[in-house]
Amino acid sequence: SHSNKMGSAAPTLPKRPIRVLISGAAGQIGYSLIPMLLSGRALGDDQPIDLVLLDIPSCKDKLEGVCMEVQDCGFGLLRSLTPTVDGKTAFEGCDLCILVGGFPRKPGMLRADLLKKNGGIFSAMGKAIAATASRNVKVVVVANPANTNCLIAALNAAQIPKQNFSCLTRLDMNRAKGQIVSRFGLFSANDVKNVTIWGNHSKTQYPDITDARVKRDGAWTPVSTVATEEDMKYFKGDFIKTVQQRGAAVLKARGFSSAASAANAVTDHIKSLFQGTAPGEHVSMGVWSNGNPYGIADGIFYSFPCTCKNGTWSIVPGLQCSEESKKLMKATEQELLEEKKEALP
């Protein structure tokens, strides 16, 4: 209770809690994501959260353990905590669904098998979301193959606008920023903006620095104006390969796939979506391609440069695309169209 001193503002009423679901909540990414989300960075530090943690029945005990830890953290923004292993009822009234749980790729597994396995999971989730979630629900798909899982969920969620779905390519964008920081010896990743990831969250993605800016002496400067010829060669070659294959490099070194950096990227993605992008800044996210200004086929989720405001995104039009760029943008589009064909019976 506030002591009501003369002239002090009336206490503002607490915001209505947002109901957030994380699927695959007992997994590695979930474990890193939960504290980030509850710290307030994603949705705002005055935004209370009703948290639903969903996982598969075989993870029930693990999920209980995670809930104990969440309780032991004592997050001020956490209003309620609901663990569940029932995928039909879990989405009831949810405002934001973060779909992290999927079928992982096993050694020797064909991509077509992976697409089919996940197709079943994500069509069921799409149906459950459409049946029980809030009408204005936002859905962020993280589980791989993220773009196609997102497509399947969206196509199965009748009545929910495709624009309410997006998938994670922010990790790729953050990876690209990290490479630029190290290339130019910048102070931190806050000194880089407007790197673009085009296409699929896979090895065909195209990390593009054409519109990227770096901070030099307090001013935002296009990368192309500070880059030497040697740098430009790097940005057209090794840079692209490094970002495309960063996930595999982390897995090889750590023995596990990226978890903390993935959770951090999810947090960034949600922060941009709900709290907006800064003026003059765009971020990459996989979004519904219909009517896009870059000649990419309709009917897929493709990563574009986007600005966001209040939970809605818009694709940034008019970015320069060289012939070289267009080829790479088309190659990743092609892969997404093939995945769509394989995934949709």
- What amino acid positions are annotated as catalytic residues? 201
Label residue 214 exposed, middle or buried (CB < 10 Å: 0-12, 13-18, 19+).
buried
| Nearest-10 Cα torsion for 152, 154, 155, 157 | 120
326: three-class secondary structure by DSSP: helix
Q: What letter represents residue 99's amino acid? A: L
Q: How far apart are the two ends of the chain, measured CA to CA in Å?
A: 59
Of 306, 311, 310, 271, which Cα lies nearest the Cα of 285? 306
Rounded Cα distance between 203 and 191, Å, is: 26
Rounded Cα distance between 6 and 118, Å, is: 60
Of 201, 106, 152, 127, which Cα lies nearest the Cα of 343? 152
DSSP string, 214-265: EEETTEEEEHHHH--HHHHHHHHTHHHHHHHTHHHHHHHHHSS---HHHHHH
